[in-house]
Amino acid sequence: GENVEQHPSTLSVQEGDSAVIKCTYSDSASNYFPWYKQELGKGPQLIIDIRSNVGEKKDQRIAVTLNKTAKHFSLHITETQPEDSAVYFCAASLPPGNTPLVFGKGTRLSVIA
């Protein structure tokens, strides 16, 4: 089955700097790659997602890139702010789109003011 690896497990950046979190997946048939932000005591919140027919997607300070050949995708957060501090999870799923998500282990991002 699908396996998703996520790095790094922890990341500290200065406010205003960029943060990059990387994930790899094992099943080349996976075609949906969401990123979730989880704050303490809350459920995962979708922040951006990308499908395999697209190489990059951007939403304000957040972007995701996908390299299907290498089977990896990355989350980029620019101009980080203290409120970006949270645990970020990547995930992957197979078609047709309602198949279960397979999550990475998460990255704890700390933005230092």
> Cα–Cα distances in Å, from 38 out to 1, 28, 45, 69?
25, 27, 6, 29
Residue from 11, 27, 49, 57 binding another protein (CB under 8 A): 49
Alpha-carbon distance of 63 to 61, in angstroms, equals: 7
Alpha-carbon distance of 29 to 62, in angstroms, equals: 25
Alpha-carbon distance of 13 to 78, in angstroms, equals: 11
The piece of 15-23, 58-66, 67-75, 100-108 that touches another protein (CB under 8 A) is: 100-108
Establish how many alpha carbons lie within 13 A of residue 39's alpha carbon, considering only the half-sphere containing its beta carbon: 7
Residue from 52, 74, 78, 99 binding another protein (CB under 8 A): 99
Nearer to another protein, 25 or 89 (CB): 89
Nearer to another protein, 20 or 101 (CB): 101
- Asked if 98 interacts with another protein (CB under 8 A), we say yes
Residue from 25, 73, 88, 89 binding another protein (CB under 8 A): 89
- Asked if 11 interacts with another protein (CB under 8 A), we say no
Contact between residue 20 and residue 75 where contact means Cβ atoms under 8 Å apart? yes
Q: Which residues make up the interface to another protein (CB under 8 A)?
A: 34, 36, 41-46, 49, 89, 91, 96-106
